[in-house]
Amino acid sequence: MKTKLPYISYPGCIPRILNKIKAAQTPERFTYDFLETKLGFRGGNYAQFIPLAKKIGLIKTDGTPTDLYKKLRNSKTSKHSMAQAIKIGYGELFERNEYVNNLPAEELKGLIVEITGLEQKNQVIKLTCQTFETLKKEADFEAKPSEEPSEPEEKPDKTKGEKDEYSDFGLNLSYTINLVLPKTDDPAVFNAIFRSLRENLLRK
């Protein structure tokens, strides 16, 4: 069974649509009406963007925008999310060569010919290459996902002395004494032991 890699017949529209996506509000569902009415792209050539977006993981099969779609709209995560989307849509290319995004045009074409089984002069080969290269210009495969800034550490007040700083905790100490009594029946011995405890350890 021949593999069909994602492509559209007018790859040049991709950057324009992506720019409008970044500027517009995220819809509940990305439909043809949204593409035409909200983004302003009418016609069959532009409509091909929707199945492409589904294949590369930007929207779900029912048109619901994915997390990748939302991250694409964030300038800090846009290029990283597009790189992830390309890896989803062109997974078989990356299985053959994990650095396919760095291949020269002719080597990329050869790999697509190998996977699809089509002739080199086939228009689908040309459009697949152009679609891949156009998407790649919107991506950064070396970019790292942005991390949320960590909460700043609360630094101790240097104006406080150590005693004041620890006294705020209301620290209370307790201890347990294990007493081993000698084997004797002489009450004087016990009296002496307990007197020593009272005088030396149990004082407040």
Q: Is the pTM of this model over 0.75?
A: no
Distance CA 27, CA 2 (A): 34
Does any domain span residue 90? yes
Mean pLDDT for the chain overall: 83
Please say if the pLDDT value at position 12 is more than 70. Answer: yes
How many domains does the chain divide into?
1
- pLDDT band for 160, please (50, 70, 90 cuts): very low
Please say if the pLDDT value at position 154 is more than 50. Answer: no
Parent domain of 102: 11-136
Burial group, residue 76, by CB count within 10 angstroms (0-12, 13-18, 19+):
exposed
Distance CA 203, CA 60 (A): 76
Q: What mean pLDDT do residues 173-185 have?
A: 62
Does any domain span residue 152? no
Please say if the pLDDT value at position 16 is more than 70. Answer: yes
Who has greater pLDDT, 183 or 67? 67
- pLDDT band for 167, please (50, 70, 90 cuts): very low
Does any domain span residue 148? no
